[in-house]
Amino acid sequence: MHFKSTPAVSEMTIGEVAVEAGLRASAIRYYEAEGLIPAAHRRHGRRVYNRSVLDRLALIELAKLCGFTVAETKQLLSGFSRATPPGERWRTLASAKIDELDQRLSQIRRMKRVLEAVSRCHCPTLEIRAFMRDSS
């Protein structure tokens, strides 16, 4: 007995991937062009992705939210030999990135203190530098 083969459930069109990942199709095409995700194969002229691309897209979006550049994200995903486990990749990149994020957190906290102080101010003029000095 022979059955017609049906497309594997693990395959998704770019539109399906976009909906599932919460991204625009243009972002997916961009990530593909930058080498962040594997090139899709074509079926009837349309991009078709393996469902596993969703995990990779989630990691790309997390890295983006955390301030990783495209180049840093590319290094994280494919800048190491295949023998290097993902955890080791993260540790290698993490040390420098953690310092950068700590600096950004410090700047964000400082800005938050300035905004809190300014929001309580009933002054006719604002001397922002004074608030900045008080908030450090």
Question: β-strands 11-13, 41-43: how paired?
Answer: unpaired
1-79 CATH choice from 1.10.1660.10, 1.20.120.420, 1.10.8.10, 3.30.460.80 = 1.10.1660.10
Q: What is the pLDDT of residues 30-72, one digit of tens each?
A: 999 999 999 999 988 888 999 999 999 999 999 898 888 999 8
Residue boundaries of the structural domains of the chain: 1-79
pTM (whole model) above 0.85: no
